Amino acid sequence: MEFTLQLKDAKSRVILEKNAHLHLKDYLDLNSKVMVISDDHIPSTLKKKVMDQIENGILVEVVQGEDAKSFPVYEMLLKKLLEHEFSRKDLVIALGGGVIGDLSGFVASTYKRGCRFASIPTTTLSQIDSSIGGKVAINMNGIKNCVGNFYHPEVVIVDTQTLHTLPKRHFYNGLVEALKAGCIQDEKLFDLFKKHAHELNVDSIYLEEIIERSLLMKKRIVEQDEKEQNLRKILNFGHTLGHALESLHLNEYYHGECVGNGMILIEEDEKIRKDLKGILKRMQIPMIHENDVEKMMECIRNDKKAKDDEIDIIQVRKIGSAEIVKIKTEDLKKILEGGLL
């Protein structure tokens, strides 16, 4: 399956195909200098398979983890591009998860005001969500994605065969973004989780459909509202509280795990909340026991989505449709006090 994400000034060709990473030339023009950016936990066999297809390829590996989204690593990568005399017509490929995608995309977007960029996502989170939509960023002063850009890869190669080596916890972590996609836009996707959450793994016959439905949902939203003026905000279901949990438990819980907990905390409808809890439990998503409401509120106020004493939150009153609701921060605090304690 393939589709094109069509934006005002850019487009991304998205390929969802088993073993596509073994024939890159079918999708990507590799007749230029190519820098592949990856991390030290991505299996070396995967890196070798990719590099063997690229004549003028340079592989640069960074230390895995969120800390790679930093100024020193960003600068090191820019210097490598300069050292190898890359021009704007040369290509940067992200080979890894969301960290590598965000970092490499930001490098590509700023090097000489933007060079070519493509992505081979290797985690469920990046295949389902982060590799499309154009958000690229690094962190600063402990604030996630504080410095960033919108920059779309020309090609995204989503190949579930690359997921075989992904640790199980990361596998389920990424699936939470697909569950979110089901909640806000796609009832059938939600039903897939309701029926099959306990048996999902890399060989599941439902995995490709889950990824495809999630990507197509994001395509529909981002094409209508690329820069998150309004509609795109619905992708943040579970994220306001999720981000706060993530900041309070950095390096302890992953993004999807925090978003899963955030969805449960914010969801008003009892039946939906019960279903969500059941699904997350079957996907072995940990329940986060955080009872410091004040600290949570501090994170939420610092978050870019909070304005004065009001905040936009996303509410799902019926599976498959989401609403942007303005609520007072003091009311959000009450919800938290009810949910956390």
CB–CB of 323/229 below 8 Å? no
Looking at the DSSP assignment, which residues form a beta bridge with residue 225? none
The CA-atom distances, in angstroms, between 185 and each of 175, 179, 323 are: 15, 10, 11
Q: Which residue has the tokens 């870019």?
A: 304
- 33 or 239: whose CB is closer to ligand NAD? 239
The answer to whether 13 contacts ligand NAD (rule: CB under 6 A) is: no
The whole-angstrom separation of Cα 244 and Cα 302 is: 9
The whole-angstrom separation of Cα 113 and Cα 144 is: 23
Residues 182-211: x/- map of binding to ligand NAD (CB under 6 A)? Answer: ------------------------------
CB–CB of 97/128 below 8 Å? no
Interface segment toward ligand NAD; rule CB under 6 A; list 40-48, 268-276, 323-331, 333-341: 40-48
Backbone angles phi, psi at 89, to 5 degrees: -85, -5
The answer to whether 232 contacts ligand NAD (rule: CB under 6 A) is: no
The answer to whether 96 contacts ligand NAD (rule: CB under 6 A) is: yes
- 121 or 290: whose CB is closer to ligand NAD? 121
Residues 278-317: x/- map of binding to ligand NAD (CB under 6 A)? Answer: ----------------------------------------
At 141, list the tokens. 């002063």
The whole-angstrom separation of Cα 32 and Cα 300 is: 45
The whole-angstrom separation of Cα 156 and Cα 153 is: 7
The answer to whether 257 contacts ligand NAD (rule: CB under 6 A) is: no
Interaction with ligand NAD in 112-171: which residues (CB under 6 A)? 122-123, 125-126, 129-130, 133, 135, 144-145, 162-163, 165-166, 170
Q: What is the binding site for ligand NAD (CB under 6 A)?
A: 39, 41-43, 64-66, 69, 96-100, 102, 122-123, 125-126, 129-130, 133, 135, 144-145, 162-163, 165-166, 170, 173, 254-255
